[in-house]
Amino acid sequence: MTTLPVIVVGASLGGLRTAESLRRSGYDGPITVIGDESHLPYQRPPLSKAALHGADDALENLTFAHRPAISDVTWVTGTRVVSADLGANIVTDDRGEVRTFSALVVATGVRPRRLHVPGGATEGRYALRTIDDARSLRDVLTPGTRVVIAGAGFIGCEVAATAIGLGCDVHVVGTTAVPMEAALGHDLGAAMQVRHEDHGVAFSMGTRITAALGHPYLAHVDLADGRTLACDVLVEAVGSSPNVEWISSNDVDATRGLRTDSAMRVVRADGSPHDNVFAVGDVASYPHPHHGIESASVEHWNIPTETAKRAASVMAPMLAGDPSHLDVAATPFAPLPSFWTDQYDVHLLAYGMTRLADRSTLLAGDLAGECLVGYYRDHRLVGVCGIGMTGQMLTYRKELMAQPLAAGTAA
Amino acid sequence: MINVKVDMSQCQHYGQCVLEAPHVFELNAKDRLEYVAQVADDDREAIEDAIDICPMQAISMAR
């Protein structure tokens, strides 16, 4: 057996779960996890919520607990891998150190997209992905601060709820008709907007920011509809880009994330897999045959964990020279995405691929209170979303889980 | 035996743990989480899966 390590690039949730899953799958060789942040893997979801509230330990307590099984993993933090050579099985970091791997796991995730607008303001503009981002933003979310949030997705809306709770003056600018429209649909998105407005958040929907003015401190933003909003802070929550540049010069498909097969093996341009290169988490674009989708990434809470387990279940026998890994790789893989958001006293949970829906229907309850909403594509349930009613939701989750893998392959 | 603990000040009753370890965690008739505080060593992996998937990261275990 080789003594070369499995190298995991990316020290966040996907990297941590890969290390844990490799041990559980029986791999007992060396593992090196390399991450560009100075922190060990930590929880990101609280960064837009509780962690933006004052207490310092709210940020310090986010580090994931490490199980004894991964106590011998080598963590290399504060180090960015800048290139990979999949033919030579090496990665090179930003200090020029070259490491050889037995298998490579790409867990580099995504970074926030930024607004590219004129106006000269360079200070007062924030994005939110890391603990350091949250620390910077927390310092400026003080009572009376005028905050404009670009983007009305989950992160934008969570920051809006948190900032208004901190006494800021908050205005959300979004390109869609209602907030969180892509994931929640129009009706539930509209109901969520009302809840935000009841707490004092202002919305300008169906428009976008065209300029961020100030020299260098932000003074106001211009909107496409001609209005101007005076502000001190601009939070840019306008989506993400996959971190793939360091590996994209290899024979891979990095057009939308890093494309893999259903065993999470990174594939070449011709679709054939690299046997010892895997991708997990937000960066991985994998097949969804039951939805008729060849390849898509899913940036939801459970996907780093699910994809890491899948990759490890194939990688561990492969590294042991056990041909059964090919049988494992051939088994179906269709994790049901789950996601959740906390905004005010609203705890919203969803299963499935609600974004694919062409129609949504109120299944139970009341959109202004506790409710269940079903999401359908071509009359087939593809997702369900609930505020409360968790027990009832499980019935619909079972329906989503029971769908045959081959159903609906005619895209 | 393994001691299971849920920080109920964090728990939002999303029920993800129920899916991973239904013999340890359950949602009662009011959709509130209830759980067994002591389980057999054989349940370790199921508890680990529940810990991993909890959106609030509210679950811990000790021997």
A368: in domain: yes
| A130 and A157 in a common domain | yes
CATH number of the domain encompassing residue A356: 3.30.390.30
| A144 and A199 in a common domain | yes
CATH number of the domain encompassing residue B23: 3.30.70.20
Average pLDDT rounded to a whole number, residues B43-55: 93
The pLDDT-based confidence of A410 (bands split at 50, 70, 90) is very low
Distance from CA of B28 to the nearest CA of A (A): 8
Q: Which domain holds residue A170?
A: 114-238
| A225 and A123 in a common domain | yes
Q: Which domain holds residue B38?
A: 2-62
| A118 and A234 in a common domain | yes
A147: in domain: yes
Domain count, chain B: 1
Angle CA A12–A18–A23, to nearest 5: 135
Residue of B nearest to A46 (CA): B56
- Please name the residues in contact with A168: beta carbons below 8 A apart, sequence gap of 6 or more: A141, A142, A143, A144, A145, A146, A147, A233
| A338:B16 CB<8 A | yes
CATH number of the domain encompassing residue A149: 3.50.50.60
Looking at A330, A354, A373, which one is the last position of a domain? Answer: A330
Average pLDDT rounded to a whole number, residues A76-84: 98
| A296 and A363 in a common domain | no
User: Are the C-beta atoms of residues A346 and A387 closer than 8 Å to each other?
Assistant: yes
A338: in domain: no
Pairing of strands B38-39, A81-85: unpaired
| A247 and A101 in a common domain | yes
A1: in domain: no
Higher pLDDT: A4 or A404? It is: A4
> Percent of chain A at pLDDT above 70?
96
Residue A364 has pLDDT above 90, yes or no: yes
Residue A167 has pLDDT above 90, yes or no: yes
Q: Is the ipTM of this complex over 0.85?
A: yes
| A391:B27 CB<8 A | yes
User: Are the C-beta atoms of residues A355 and A183 closer than 8 Å to each other?
Assistant: yes
Average pLDDT rounded to a whole number, residues B44-59: 93
Residues of A with Cβ-Cβ distance to B19 under 8 angstroms: 394, 397
Looking at A209, A238, A267, which one is the last position of a domain? Answer: A238
| A141 and A224 in a common domain | yes
| A122 and A101 in a common domain | no
| A154 and A70 in a common domain | no
| B55:A305 CB<8 A | no
A122 vs A217: CA distance, rounded Å: 6
Whether B41 contacts chain A with CB within 8 A = no
How many CA atoms lie within 13 Å of B3's alpha carbon, on the beta-carbon side?
3
Distance from CA of A148 to the nearest CA of B (A): 28
A410: in domain: no
Tokens 């999470």 belong to residue: A264
| A132 and A62 in a common domain | no
Residues of A with Cβ-Cβ distance to B53 under 8 angstroms: 301-302, 305, 338
**Segment B9-36, tens digit of pLDDT:** 989 899 999 999 999 999 998 889 999 9
pLDDT of residue B39: 94
Residues of B with Cβ-Cβ distance to A389 under 8 angstroms: 31
Looking at A208, A238, A268, which one is the last position of a domain? Answer: A238
Residues of B with Cβ-Cβ distance to A301 under 8 angstroms: 53, 55
A217: in domain: yes
Residues of B with Cβ-Cβ distance to A64 under 8 angstroms: 57
A337: in domain: no
Residue A256 has pLDDT above 70, yes or no: yes
Residue of A nearest to B48 (CA): A67
- Nearest CB among B15, B45, B48 relative to A390 is that of B15
| A397 and A306 in a common domain | no
Residues of B with Cβ-Cβ distance to A390 under 8 angstroms: 13-15, 27, 31
| A194 and A279 in a common domain | no
Distance from CA of A340 to the nearest CA of B (A): 8
The pLDDT-based confidence of A56 (bands split at 50, 70, 90) is low
Residue A10 has pLDDT above 60, yes or no: yes
Domain count, chain A: 3
A41 vs A50: CA distance, rounded Å: 18
- Sign of CA pseudo-dihedral B27, B30, B32, B38: negative
Whether B52 contacts chain A with CB within 8 A = yes
